[in-house]
Amino acid sequence: MTPKDIRAAFIEDLTSVAPDIDPDLLDDDEHLQDDLGLDSMDFLNLVSALHKRFGLPIPEADYPELATTAQAVRYLGKAPAG
């Protein structure tokens, strides 16, 4: 997957968990919780959706690496393509 594909897949999962987010207005450096308003439960649901889609384990210790869209795309890019 190219970073572009990963981003598209990430945004699909993000807006599925939080459909109040408009993907066209999304800034990749916005913090998912502080700026986009995800709460802890949303975040867990997002991680679980990403885990399913990309087929990679995302341990709790790595959660800070998913703080923004840009960071998450980098993190998911390190995984074997799903």
Compute the distance between CA of residue 22 and CA of residue 57 in angstroms, rounded to an integer: 28
Nearer to another protein, 1 or 71 (CB): 71
Backbone angles phi, psi at 28, to 5 degrees: -65, -15
Q: List helix spans (H) across 1-82.
A: 3-17, 40-54, 69-77
Asked if 15 interacts with another protein (CB under 8 A), we say yes
Residues in contact with another protein, total (CB under 8 A)? 21
Asked if 37 interacts with another protein (CB under 8 A), we say yes
Contacts to another protein by CB under 8 A: 15-16, 18-21, 33-34, 37-42, 44-45, 59-61, 63-64
